[in-house]
Amino acid sequence: MSETVQPLVRQAYPPPAHHPTPHSGRNSVPGRVKADLEGVPETALWTLHHRAAESARPDTVLPDPRAVQLVTEIEFPFQERLGAARPWLAQALALRALGFDGVVRAFLADRPDGTVVALGEGLETQFWRVDNGRAQWVTVDLDAPLALRRRLLPHGERQRLVACDARDSQWMAGIDPSRGVLVTAQGLLMYLQPDQVTRLIAACAGAFPGGTMVFDTVSRRFSARTRARAKGPGGHRLPPMPWGMDAADRDQLRQAHPAISEVSEVPFPVGRGFLGHLAPRAASVPLLRTDRPLITRLRFGAAPASLTGQP
């Protein structure tokens, strides 16, 4: 891979491989790559576990053969650590991914040479589902999950991996906004503090005029449950999620930066069965209207002259 490495990358990784590199160790499984992720980074494995389970179904809502392959190439006790993949939860996470896919495809239809920046991408395989053959793709993640991603997934010359905390705006260096920029944050912002979320959104709005940002959130009630260490969907105890947002809070996002010109909801796609029928209609169900996960899209206009220093 021909890859530009920015100065902020704190450590060098071995060259990317197109096949998993066997991990040597007394307890390792030959031919598999050992995954040593804990805390929030481990949620990348939890999401992959469910996405692969959904994709393996003959009636799947999200064909993702690369995800199915990944779980066979990783040495990790998925069942013991994460529990069995519940079909309803697997579909829900797949529908979330499908909602993000739709936003990316729409962006690339409008800006085919644009740049997609995936914050905290983990082991998401979205690039291979939506790539148009022209887009630039930037993955921003912490050292450990990025190193695992590099060993497991092939990356070409249009893909760049940046080892950086998403809250550190240095990852924005070298990204050209002139061809269009879409920043995605799937399964990330809920693990940040509210003020950190506001600063990140503001930084993106200021750095990428004319760009777009899309992210998902959990409700305030669900955020409180995780902070109380209650078990989440499927019985697995997820890390605390400090930031929650209800649908009524969405318009407050405009206050993060004057360049935010549009705040809108991205409906979940239609899926399979009762859950799949309900997903895109949750906003009209009284019990779910406020206490539900959301996908939100922000559009950025040009910053006011008073903020850019221009007359």
pLDDT digits (tens, 9 = 90+) for 72-95: 999 999 998 888 999 999 999 999
Provide the H-helix boundaries in the chain: 43-55, 65-73, 78-82, 87-110, 126-130, 143-152, 194-207, 220-227, 273-278, 305-308
Q: Which residues contact 97 (CB under 8 A, 6 or more apart)?
A: 51, 62, 64, 124, 126, 186
pLDDT computed for residue 24 by the predictor: 36
> Quick check: is 39 in a domain?
no
Q: Kindly indicate the confidence band of residue 4, based on its pLDDT and cuts at 50, 70 and 90.
A: very low
Is 197 among the domain residues? yes
CB half-sphere exposure, 6, CA atoms < 13 A: 17
More confident call, 18 vs 42:
42
Q: What is the pLDDT of residue 28?
A: 55
At residue 170, does pLDDT exceed 90?
yes
What is the pLDDT at residue 229?
85
What pTM did the predictor assign?
A: 0.87
Assess if residue 223 is contained within a domain. Answer: yes
> Shortest CA distance to 63 belongs to which of 140, 136, 125?
125
Q: Give the residue-averaged pLDDT of 236-251.
A: 92
13: its two tokens: 């990784």
For residue 182, the cross-strand partners are: 116, 212
Q: For residue 70, tell me if it sits in a domain.
A: no
Burial label for 293, CB within 10 Å (0-12, 13-18, 19+), is buried
For helices 65-73 and 43-55, the axis angle rounded to 10 degrees is: 120
- The β-bridge partners of 98 are none
Give the pLDDT of residue 268.
96
Most confident of 4-8, 59-63, 302-306: 59-63
Structural domain of 226: 87-300
Q: Give the confidence band of 303 by pLDDT, cuts at 50, 70, 90.
A: low
- Domain membership of residue 306 (yes or no) is no
Query: Looking at the domain assignment, is residue 48 inside a domain?
Result: no
Whether the Cβ atoms of residue 106 and residue 125 lie closer than 8 Å to each other: no
Q: Which of the listed ranges 13-22, 45-54, 282-291 does the model predict with the highest average pLDDT?
A: 45-54
Residue 127 lies in a domain: yes
| CB burial of residue 14 (10 Å; 0-12, 13-18, 19+) | exposed
Q: How many domains does the chain have?
A: 1
Q: Would 42 be classed as within a structural domain?
A: no
Q: CB neighbours of 274 closer than 8 A, spacing ≥ 6?
A: none
- The reported pLDDT for the residue numbered 77 is 94
For 22-60, write each residue's pLDDT tens digit.
Answer: 333 334 566 899 998 999 999 999 999 999 999 999 999
Any idea what the CATH number is for the domain that residue 223 is in? Answer: 3.40.50.150
